[in-house]
Every structure is written in C-alpha cells, then in structure tokens.
C-alpha cells in the first residue's frame, strides 16, 4: 500500500537518460526517424524507449509539491491546520488571484520552451514542440477553485503537467509529436454558473456567446467576457477543437471520493464518467393541524417525501446506482402544521444510461405507490417530477485507458494498487473526450473530502499520480509514433 | 346524522316559557328561593326547570349565524367563494379591527343587561346577574384570529355566548347565579407570540409583566400593553382568577380536525386536552459529493432524518399517539452535496403523559439505532434532542363534562351523534381549567380545516353547538343551585 519516496538524489542516482543515451530503443521505431535530424543535445527520444526504460522516468516529488504550494499563495483560503500549507483555496475564475496563477503558468511553461496559445475563453495551451508537427498530446485540468475549496482539485492536474514539462526539459527529452498542458477556464462553475464551460465551448457543445455572457453569481455585473478582457486572457485564438485540436487529453485529478482510500489503492484508472440525472420532485398534500388531525385523515407531504427518500436509496442500491437528496424545502414550515407541500432534489447516478432508465422507472412507480397508500380520506397526495439535468454516461478512449493502465502498473509494480473506476463528478475531460481520445487518473482523497478547505492528498500520492500522468503522455506519444510508422 | 333546522317560527311554535311559567320545577329547588323575591316579569327560573323543559330551550339559529357574519365585517380576510360570507378573517389581537369587534361585544352585552369588566390583559367579562351573587358560570372564547384565519375559530364561541345572553334576556330567564361571556385576548398568539397568553395571566401561570412586554411579531415596536392602551382595553381590574373568579368555564369551539365529520357526528364532548411535547432533533453527518461517494462511505444526515420521520409515525401509531414534523432544514443545500446537517421539529401528542413518556423513550432508542446503522467508514452520524416545549395532558372537570354530555343528549336525542374527545389543540379552556371547572364543546370542521380562510362549519352545526353551550350553562347553574341547597 505504501510507497517509499526516496529523496531525489537516491531516486535518480543515475539519471535514466545517462544510461539510455547510448541506446537506440526498439529497432523499428528508431528506423523511422532519420539520424540526420537528431539534435546532439537530446538525451532521450520517446520512440526509442522500451518498457523497461520508460517505466523508470519519474517526476521530482519535492519540486512538484513545493511548486503546488507556492502557487497557492494566489487565492489562499481558510486555515484548518498550523502548517503553512494547511489552508484551503478561494481562487474564483478570472479573479485577480486567478490572473496571477495564470501568469505564473504562462511564464513557467514559456521558460520551459513552450509556445503559449490563449483562446477566446481564456483556455491556455502551453505546447512543447515534438520531432514532428501535429496536434499535441496534452495534460489538462484547471487552476480555479471553489470559493471554499482546497489545494488539490484542478490545481494538482496543472502542476503535475508543469512538472512533466520540467522533467522533459531538464532531461532533454524529445517527443515524437508536440506535448503540452491546458489550463481550462472556470471549470468549477463557482463564479460563472456553468461548470466546465470553457472546455464545453472548445468542444462545440456550448455556444461562445452564451459563455461570454455568463454573469458572475451573487448579483455582480461582470461577465465572463468582461473579466477575461480585464485580466488580459481574452485570447485571439477561436475557442474550438478545430482551431486547437488535441491528439489526446489526460487529466490527473483527486478522486473526490473515498474508494481508493478505503480500498488502500493508489491509482484510479478512469474509464469514464457516470451518467447522472437531476430531478425536482414535488409532493403535494394537505396542511393540517398536528394536534387535531389523526393519521388516517392526513395527507402529510413530508412523511411521503421521507418515504420516497428512503426508497430512493434502497432502489438505487439494488440497481448498483446512487441516489441522493441535497435540497429539501417545505411549506408552510410551522411546528404544529403538517406540511402541505414538499419539494426535494433527486440526483441519481450509474455507470450506464440503461441502469438509470431502469432506476427512474422503478422510482416513478414506487413514488406513485407511496402517494397512493398515504392518501386517505379523499384529501389526496400527489407527486410530480421535473427533469432538471440529464448527463449521459461518458466512455473514455480505450487507447488512453490502456496507456494509463500500463503507466500505473509500471509505477506501482502491483496491479492490486490500482483499480478501474468511473468518475462520479464531471471534469473538463468529459468535454475533451467528445473531440479527442481521453482518460483520467485518480489519486486518493483523504476521507473522500473535496470542495472543502480540508481537501488533502499526501505528497507521496500526488507524486505517484504525476508519475502516471508523465508516463501516460510519453506512452501515448510513443503509441502515436508507432502507429504512424 | 342530519338535523332538520326548522325556521324559528316552527321550531318555537309555542315558546317554552309560556308553558313553563306556571310550573314550579323540582320542588326541593323551588323551596330554596323565597317567593317574596321573585320578579313578576321573570318568565322562567333555571332552578325550577325539569329535564323535559330545559331540553327544549334553544338558540335562534338564523340570528346566531347572521350576527356571526355581521361581526366579520371587522377584519375580513381572503375571499374563497362568491357569497358575502365566503371569506376568511384577518383580525389580529388588539388591531383596529379587533377594537371594533370588542366594542360590538361590549355594547351588545351591555344592552342585554350585562355588567362589563375589563382586566389588565383586556380580557372582557360580560356578566348577567343571577338571583344570588357569586362567581359567574361563563361561556368563553376569543374574537382574535390568525392573519389568514377563518370565521369560526374563537368567533363562534363568543357569538354563541352572546346568543345565549339574548335567549336569556328575551325570555326573561332568571338564573340562580350570575352567568356571562368572556372574550380572552390574543388567544392565537399570532400577533403577540404566546398563545392563550391572557387566560394564562388570569390563571396566574404567566407573569403580567412578561405578557405586557410581548412585542408584536415581524419586528414592530408595539407591545401588548401599548396596544391595549391604544385601543382602550387596558382595564383596571387585575388580570387574575382571584380578582375575577369564575364558577365554571364552557367553550364552544370548532373541532379543527376531521373526526366528527368523518364519523358523521355532531358534538364532541371534550374531556380534556392531549399532552404534547415539542423537540428539535439535530442529525449531524458528513457533507460529501453525491457522485463520488458510494453508499457505504456516506454519513447522510438527510437519509437518517428521513428514516427517523418514518419511524416516528410508525412508533406513534403503535402507541396510540401522534407524531409530526412541520419544520426541516438542512445544510449546505446543494443538489450534488450530501447534507451534513439536518434539523427537524418533532411534535408528539397523546391523551396521557404516560404514553408520551413511553413514546419518547421508544423514539430515542430508535433514532440511536438509525444513526448507528447508517454510520459507516468512521465518518459517523450523531443525533441530539432538544426539548422545546412540554405540555402535560389536561383533564377537564367531571361536572362540566357531564353537563355537556347531558346537554348534547338532550339536543341530539341520540347519543350516537356525539362522542367524547380530547382536544388536540390548546385553548383558553386549558388555563381556565386550572382555576375553575371547565369543559368544551366541539362542532364539526369541514375537511378538518382550520387556521385557513376556508375554515367552515355549517349554520346547522353552529346552532347545535350553541344549543349545547346554552343548555350546559343553564344545567350548570341548576347544578350549583341544587348543590347549594
Ligand atoms: Zn476539478
Ligand atoms: Zn380558537
């Protein structure tokens, strides 16, 4: 379960490329690149690496975590512990703090030899050239946070991408094709109220005008466009997968759930994203006095709703799905008045759309049964459903999933330390997957907590995740090379 | 179930006292009063009435209901039907509308020969002298309403009392002791937030200063005392059962529940008031993402609360009690966040305190079980109880209950048309019962609805209730006379 993290000096007693520099790698791959074009300063070429060598390429764990906390100076949030790094984050998209974090991202990646492209949604692509032209294989995530968020959600994915660029740069690695890092704008939807809005525009799923016109929550007058302009990130590049195609998208992210921790595993190989549906369920009953109305004369909307909530859990468990209620309001809201009306949210999730179809059907029938059995005395109870959101299941690309799996096995040694998962939450990878092969890499979240200042992933687990991300990008580059040949 | 209401002229083809005037009534009772003191204008003396004669004394149903709707010109509320009388009432205590209704009460009862006493809480006693001095046997209720109330709650009790005075006056009935009508101030607690506060002060259970200092709800600066002064009802009489003792208190009231209607009965003989207890129950769980947190890693405060609400109903039914939840709040209140905290009100009621003791014990154990079985993964759920209000069961006086029963049987002919009940709601009779023999008379509420503009009791049912009230007061007067002798 635990991996001992050696200090940099002992983890890399001999830098791998010092050994590899005399190797030619797999012969067929090597043959495809003319020796005439080789840069003598290059120490390692991805297409020349065999499995044994590739599996030894690792990030610098101390540098990764130090840099992560360094960037958390911009938008530092609520303190929960005594150490410098024991605070949350409050870095809303396109705020001044976000601008400073973006500037750091641009400056750092430029200094590592990347070309920077900013699109009309502020999505920022740092691309490192490869031996050949073509769309980049990218690591991507987001630098914005919830108003009361943590230091890992989104941030870890970007920082691991930057660490990847550092490893490639300092070790003079040449990739067959460009590789890079993308910072997607306003993933959280916390300031401008559509989650993943900018990868959505890039994917052609959300109109640019609608995204530009989004007003900040809380009654402010700023829009996404005005704030992009203000902080200098309204780019000239169209926000589009056509203007900026990606060869593949890999996202390292904290799990935001307890499964890896509970199962004492280190890496989640993310095969896709759960389907989910959001409903508003309204139960109408009859207000009545709690003291003067016997049970058989009631139409208690809250009792019916309580039974529905209990039933939704039982039924979801039976279907291998999830059901949750996060909002419940009732009226009139008096201790001695039986509620006449209850409205509650229902969030159901499952790995496939088919399971959700079945569960929805099951619950509609159960809820009808509940209102018919509660209904007495002609007062009647009624239930109605409103569908607020339907998100189909997302299936990531087999090539990317295999690449992540191979990298996890290479890093962890033991395939019991990783598991295949579906993501329960949405990510920019959902939209990316519509336009390029995609997969994600999950690392453990302490107590499954996220969107909270106490969100935490250990430095060791961050480094393991960054290693898998680094190797996934390199393996995918090698795969592209092999296929091209 | 139905009683044919004859027009006044045919119901009273020969007014009873025209027949009774030559009777002496029960001989023992008659002997006790010196014939020398008899007023020749008196047509009837209660102590001379035998059962056969007493049972024929009735109110004027048309006058009763016409006068009731007449007084609803002060504080008319929301319209729900087309007829003039098809509106609710909004007559908050000590408002201008309440002052006008009080003035009508004073003027009308004065003109019927009553002496008016107003105490320091504005409680208004209209007392009609009897043959002998002594504390009055009173009908009492309240003229104030909920802000969105109806035309019957409280109002019917006062109007039936005034109709009683009219019957006594026009028929020149002499009672052995004084009889009267009390209008208690701010019974609803809707404007000044303690229900039954003025009968409470009268009974010595609520300090005068506390009641006087009550501020109107909604942030106004008026107090009960300043408003009593403003409308001219801050009386000089101390608000006290010692300064204004009552011999007995009878209250005609709408049931505010569906039992009489459901059972097709006309009169509830109210033996007492249910015990009730109010609690605030807090369930603490763990906020978590609905999509990333499997069931076995949740501490879902709302699911636990829903199970508690379901259990409270089942357990209460098993104990012959009631349980209701009228308020529920949760946090943080987001569709995709499992609630970390839920607070809900719990109102339990039963005919005896002992049943509530048992039910409370049962529920505490059940709720502990629910949090222990929901609790997984070390995240834990916790439940805590706060007791907000304890109201012990009230048992009315056997003499008054018997008097009401005898009157109901006399009016209805058939004892299947009445039932013994306990009141589920509080009334001024609760405090009255601490200081004098008391009982109540319930009449049907259509659909069990009250505290609502659509509150309705048919004119026929109002008249039956008023008949029972009238006869109860006369029977009790006769009983006092008989016992004195
Ligand atoms: Zn994220
Ligand atoms: Zn009332």
- Tell me, in angstroms, the distance from the centre of ligand 1 to residue A185's CA: 11
Instruction: Answer whether A39's CB lies under 8 Å from A174's CB.
Output: yes
Cβ distance B327 to A335 less than 8 Å, yes or no, reads yes
- Domain ranges for chain A, please list them: 8-274+393-484, 276-391
Tokens linked to A32: 């495809």
User: Is domain A276-391 in CATH 3.10.20.740, yes or no?
Assistant: no
pLDDT of residue B458: 98
Percent of chain B with pLDDT over 90: 81
Q: Residues A96-114: what's their mean pLDDT?
A: 98
Tokens linked to A115: 């070309």
Helix runs in B375-454, H state only: 398-412, 428-435
DSSP conformation letters of A415-437: GGGEEEEEESS--HHHHHHHHS-
Per-residue pLDDT band at A373 (split at 50, 70, 90) = confident
Q: Starting from the CA of residue A425, give the closest ligand.
A: 1
pLDDT of residue A375: 58
- Give A364-375 as a 3 state SS string: HHHHHHHHHHHC
Residue of A nearest to B308 (CA): A306
Cβ distance A345 to B328 less than 8 Å, yes or no, reads no
How many angstroms separate the CA atoms of A458 and A460, rounded? 5
Per-residue pLDDT band at B485 (split at 50, 70, 90) = low
The domains spanning A8-274+393-484 and A276-391 adopt the same CATH topology: no
Cβ distance A290 to B349 less than 8 Å, yes or no, reads yes
- C-alpha separations of B125 from A126, B171, B185, B234 in Å: 88, 22, 11, 13
With residue A440 as reference, give the H or E element that holds it: strand A438-443
A contacts of B326 (beta carbons < 8 Å): 290, 302, 333-339
pLDDT of residue A104: 98
Cβ distance A258 to B307 less than 8 Å, yes or no, reads no
Residues B240-283: tens digit of each pLDDT: 999 999 999 999 999 999 999 999 999 999 999 999 999 999 99
Cβ distance A309 to B306 less than 8 Å, yes or no, reads yes
Residue of B nearest to A327 (CA): B333
β-strand pairing of B76-79 with B87-89: antiparallel
Cβ distance B291 to A347 less than 8 Å, yes or no, reads yes
User: For chain A, first and last CA: distance in Å?
Assistant: 39
B contacts of A448 (beta carbons < 8 Å): 288-289, 292-293, 297
How far off is chain B from A335, nearest CA to CA, in Å? 5
Cβ distance B255 to A292 less than 8 Å, yes or no, reads yes
How many angstroms separate the CA atoms of A232 and A240, rounded? 19
- Tell me, in angstroms, the distance from the centre of ligand 1 to residue A189's CA: 10
Residues B353-367: tens digit of each pLDDT: 999 999 999 999 999
pLDDT of residue B42: 75
With residue A71 as reference, give the H or E element that holds it: helix A61-71
- According to DSSP, residue A113 is labeled T
Residues A220-235: tens digit of each pLDDT: 899 999 999 999 999 9
Of the candidates B292, B328, B448, which has its C-beta nearest A288's C-beta?
A: B448
Per-residue pLDDT band at B38 (split at 50, 70, 90) = low
Of the candidates B295, B339, B447, which has its C-beta nearest A313's C-beta?
A: B295
pLDDT of residue A379: 66
How far off is chain B from A224, nearest CA to CA, in Å? 23
Per-residue pLDDT band at A376 (split at 50, 70, 90) = low
Look at residues B318, B303, B315, B397 and name the one whose alpha carbon lies nearest to residue B364. Answer: B315
Residues A274-284: tens digit of each pLDDT: 999 999 999 99
pLDDT value at B13 more than 80: no
- Give A194-239 as a 3 state SS string: CCCHHHHHHCCCCCHHHHHHCECCCCCCCEHHHHHHHHCCCCCECC
pLDDT of residue A6: 35
B contacts of A292 (beta carbons < 8 Å): 255-257, 423-425, 448, 450
Q: Is A175 helix (H, G, I), strand (E, B) or coil?
A: coil
How many angstroms separate the CA atoms of A236 and A123, rounded? 11
Cβ distance B290 to A322 less than 8 Å, yes or no, reads yes
Q: At CA B62, angle to CA B60 and CA B67, rounded to 5?
A: 95
Residues B169-191: tens digit of each pLDDT: 999 999 999 999 999 999 999 89
pLDDT of residue A38: 54
Of the candidates A295, A306, A347, which has its C-beta nearest B290's C-beta?
A: A347
Q: Is B122 helix (H, G, I), strand (E, B) or coil?
A: coil
Q: Residues A130-151: what's their mean pLDDT?
A: 96
Cβ distance B322 to A425 less than 8 Å, yes or no, reads no
Q: Starting from the CA of residue B289, give the closest ligand.
A: 1
pLDDT of residue A39: 62
Q: Residues B318-323: what's their mean pLDDT?
A: 97
Residue of B nearest to A335 (CA): B326
Average pLDDT, chain B: 90
pLDDT of residue A40: 65
pLDDT of residue B36: 40
How far off is chain B from A324, nearest CA to CA, in Å? 6
How many angstroms separate the CA atoms of B130 and A370, rounded? 60
Cβ distance A294 to B322 less than 8 Å, yes or no, reads yes
pLDDT of residue A226: 98
pLDDT of residue B333: 87
Topology of domain A8-274+393-484, per CATH?
Answer: Aminopeptidase (3.40.630)
pLDDT value at B443 more than 50: yes
How many angstroms separate the CA atoms of B106 and B71, rounded? 13
Task: Name the β-bridge partners of A181.
Answer: A126, A139
Cβ distance A322 to B294 less than 8 Å, yes or no, reads yes
A contacts of B337 (beta carbons < 8 Å): 326, 451
Q: Residues B36-50: what's their mean pLDDT?
A: 77
Per-residue pLDDT band at B97 (split at 50, 70, 90) = very high
Per-residue pLDDT band at A389 (split at 50, 70, 90) = confident
Sequence-ordered list of residues with C-beta below 8 angstroms from that of A424, at least 6 positions apart, any chain: A256, A257, A273, A274, A322, A349, B289, B290, B291, B292, B293
Instruction: Answer whether A474's CB lies under 8 Å from A25's CB.
Output: no
Select the residue from A289, A304, A308, A443 to test the B interface by mutation, using most B Cβ atoms within 10 A. Answer: A289
How many angstroms separate the CA atoms of B230 and A136, rounded? 82
How far off is chain B from A326, nearest CA to CA, in Å? 5
Cβ distance A302 to B309 less than 8 Å, yes or no, reads yes
- Tell me, in angstroms, the distance from the centre of ligand 1 to residue A311's CA: 31
How many CB pairs lie under 8 A apart between chains A and B?
Answer: 191
How many angstroms separate the CA atoms of A455 and B114, rounded? 76
pLDDT of residue B479: 96
């Amino acid at each position: 379960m635990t991996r001992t993290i050696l200090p940099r000096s002992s983890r890399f007693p001999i830098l791998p490329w010092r050994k590899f520099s005399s190797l030619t790698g797999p012969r067929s791959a090597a043959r495809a690149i003319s020796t005439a074009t080789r840069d003598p300063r290059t120490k390692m070429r991805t297409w020349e690496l065999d499995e044994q060598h590739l599996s030894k390429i690792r990030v610098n764990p101390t540098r990764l975590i130090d840099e992560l906390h360094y960037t958390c100076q911009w938008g530092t949030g609520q303190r929960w512990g005594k150490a410098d790094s024991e605070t949350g984050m409050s870095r809303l998209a396109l705020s001044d703090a976000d601008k400073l974090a973006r500037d750091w991202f641009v400056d750092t990646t430029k200094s590592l030899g990347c070309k920077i492209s900013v699109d009309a949604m502020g999505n920022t692509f740092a691309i490192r050239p490869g031996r050949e032209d073509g769309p980049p294989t990218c690591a991507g995530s987001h630098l914005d946070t919830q108003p009361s968020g943590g230091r890992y959600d989104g941030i870890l994915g970007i920082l691991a991408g930057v660490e990847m660029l550092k490893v490639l740069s300092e070790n003079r690695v040449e990739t067959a094709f460009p590789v890079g890092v993308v910072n997607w704008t306003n993933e959280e939807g916390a300031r401008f109220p559509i989650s993943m809005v900018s990868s959505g525009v890039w994917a052609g799923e959300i109109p640019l005008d609608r995204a530009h016109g989004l007003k900040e929550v809380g009654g402010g007058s700023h829009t996404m466009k005005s704030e992009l302009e203000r902080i200098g990130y309204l780019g000239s590049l169209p926000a589009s997968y056509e203007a900026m195609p990606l060869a593949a998208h890999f996202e390292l992210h904290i799990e935001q759930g307890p499964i890896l921790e509970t199962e004492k595993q280190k890496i989640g190989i993310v095969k896709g994203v759960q389907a989910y549906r959001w409903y508003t369920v309204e139960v109408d009953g009859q207000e009545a006095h709690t003291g003067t109305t016997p049970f058989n004369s009631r139409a208690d909307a809250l009792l019916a709703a309580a039974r529905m909530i209990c039933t939704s859990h039982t039924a979801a468990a039976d279907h291998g799905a999830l059901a949750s209620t996060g909002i419940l309001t009732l009226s009139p809201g008096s201790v001695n008045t039986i509620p006449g009306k209850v409205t509650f949210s229902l969030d159901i999730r499952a790995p496939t759309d088919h399971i959700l179809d079945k569960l929805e059907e099951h619950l509609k029938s159960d809820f009808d049964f509940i209102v018919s059995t509660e209904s007495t005395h002609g007062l009647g109870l009624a239930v109605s459903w409103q569908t607020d959101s339907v998100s189909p299941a997302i299936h990531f690309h087999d090539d990317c999933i295999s690449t992540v799996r191979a990298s996890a096995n290479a890093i962890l040694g033991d395939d019991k330390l990783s598991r295949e998962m579906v993501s329960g939450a949405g990510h920019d990878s959902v939209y990316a997957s519509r336009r390029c092969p995609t997969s994600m890499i999950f690392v453990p979240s302490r107590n499954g907590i996220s969107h909270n200042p106490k969100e935490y992933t250990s430095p060791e687990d961050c480094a393991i995740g960054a290693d898998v991300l680094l190797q996934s990008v390199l393996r995918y580059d090698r795969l592209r090379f092999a296929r091209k040949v």
